[in-house]
Amino acid sequence: MTHLKPINRRTFLGTTAAAFGATAFGGVAQPAMAAGDLTVGFIYVGPKDDFGYNQSHAEGAAAVKAMAGVTVLEEENVPESQDVQNTMESMINFDGATLLFPTSFGYFNPHILELAPKHEGVRFEHCGGLWSEGNPGNAGSYFGYIGMGQYLNGVAAGHATKSKKIGFVAAKPIPQVLNNINSFLLGARSVDPTITCQVIFTGEWSLAVKEAEATNALADQGCDVITCHVDGPKVVCETAVARGAYVCGYHADQSPLAGDMYLTGAEWNWASVYTDMVTKTMAGTPINNFVRGGLADGFIKMSPLGPAVSDAARAQFEATRADIVAGNFAAIKGPLKDNKG
């Protein structure tokens, strides 16, 4: 009996490239499309239902699916390796995609940088802010000022904590993660300057065992409000709730996991970003190579405040959010007299 292995677009591409020959990969080979039609590809490093980073992008892709004249391709669980190049090649050559959103941090270098010059008719949009002058012109990056969302998380946490100890489960000490940690603590200290934040780094973007261990360790140290910056916050949320700690979410809405223990969350709003970029692409309008936005621009949003949020917390939260939207707010600020010392 012959047993057939499951196959996806990247393994199919790898096993059939020789049969198709070099002509299949000579350029942007597209099937005939009606005028105005656009095929868009979304690529995720993890599952689309991770209650976190990948789910936030999949929710954005779902908004694009609802647009007229657009075909959406999706591939999940694609490693930051040659596999993502295979997936992008497949979407371009077999499906006619001319706009790609490879969403994971490690997809950019070397993978997008290697493929973009080979497919000048394709737009590669990467999430993370890595594009710089000298990189291919048909590539670009986009990201949001989600540290402001973590500051608002901190405001809610500052009002909820009884121990004056809050906790943060972090993946890796890169600048964006450190900014989120600092913003969370500063938001809490706007309520009470004596609040402290304990941080534990897992060393991986997604590693459930270490995330559970870190959350339990924070609870053991008396942290009664916990947030995180890992790809999928599901384990952190469920473990924190089991230990009686409040939760502030990240990436997507984790309130279904935390119930009444959910205070609020800093969420990406990729639906706004993706529909805008698709609309511009279909209209032939250029997209800047470096795109950024915050709450006022619709790049991020906050989860609804949970039932445990007090009236005082709600008032400060809403007033701070209004200041951020109005552009009158900075989480990290002076005074600065000079640049010495």
DSSP 4: P
| Total number of domains in the chain | 2
Q: How far apart are CA 46 and CA 85, in angstroms?
A: 16
8 Å CB contact between 86 and 26: no
CA dist 108 and 268 (Å) reads 20
| Domain membership flag for residue 1 | no
Angle between helices 175-189 and 147-160 (to 10 degrees): 40
Do 256 and 173 share a structural domain? yes
Cα–Cα nearest to 149, from 311, 271, 293, 46: 293
The predicted structure's pLDDT at residue 19: 36
Is residue 333 domain-resident? no
The pLDDT score that the predictor gives to residue 23 is 30
Q: Kindly give the pairing relationship between strand 246-251 and strand 262-268.
A: parallel
- State whether 126 and 172 are in the same domain: no
Q: Does residue 78 fall inside a structural domain?
A: yes
Q: Would you write out the chain's pLDDT as a tens digit for each of its 341 residues?
A: 444 444 455 554 544 443 333 333 233 333 333 334 899 999 999 999 999 999 999 999 999 999 999 999 999 999 999 999 999 999 999 999 999 999 998 999 999 999 999 999 999 999 988 899 999 999 999 999 999 999 999 999 999 999 999 999 999 999 999 999 999 999 999 999 999 999 999 999 999 999 999 999 999 999 999 999 999 999 999 999 999 999 999 999 999 999 999 999 999 999 999 999 999 999 999 999 999 999 999 999 999 999 999 999 999 999 999 999 999 898 887 766 666 65
Whether 332 is in a domain gets the answer no
* Torsion angles phi and psi, residue 201, rounded to 5: -95, 130
Question: 258 and 232 in one domain?
Answer: yes
Q: What is the CATH number of the domain that holds 129?
A: 3.40.50.2300
Q: Angle 208-220/234-242 helices, nearest 10 degrees?
A: 30
Q: Give pLDDT, residue 340.
A: 64
| Cα separations in angstroms, 47 against 23, 78, 201, 267, 302 | 33, 9, 22, 17, 23
Question: Does residue 2 sit within a domain?
Answer: no
Strands (E), the chain: 38-43, 70-75, 99-102, 123-127, 139-144, 165-170, 196-201, 225-229, 246-251, 262-268, 290-293, 300-302
Check residue 121 and give its pLDDT. 96
Query: CB neighbours of 2 closer than 8 A, spacing ≥ 6?
Result: none
Q: Same structural domain for residues 310 and 188?
A: yes
**Which pLDDT does position 30 carry in this prediction?**
33
pLDDT at 315: 98
Which amino acid type is present at position 146?
A: I
Q: What is the model's pLDDT at position 332? A: 83
Residue 93, CB-side half-sphere exposure with 13 Å CA sphere: 24
Domain enclosing residue 310, as ranges = 147-267+300-326
**What separation, in Å, do the N-terminal and C-terminal C-alpha atoms of the chain show?**
76
The pLDDT, as a whole number, for residue 336 is 61
pLDDT (0 to 100) of residue 208: 96
- Is the same domain home to 175 and 278? no
Degrees, nearest 5: CA angle 200-307-211: 20
Q: Would you state the pLDDT for residue 10? A: 53
Check whether residue 205 and residue 312 sit in a common domain.
yes
Q: Are 172 and 318 within one domain?
A: yes
179 and 127 in a common domain? no
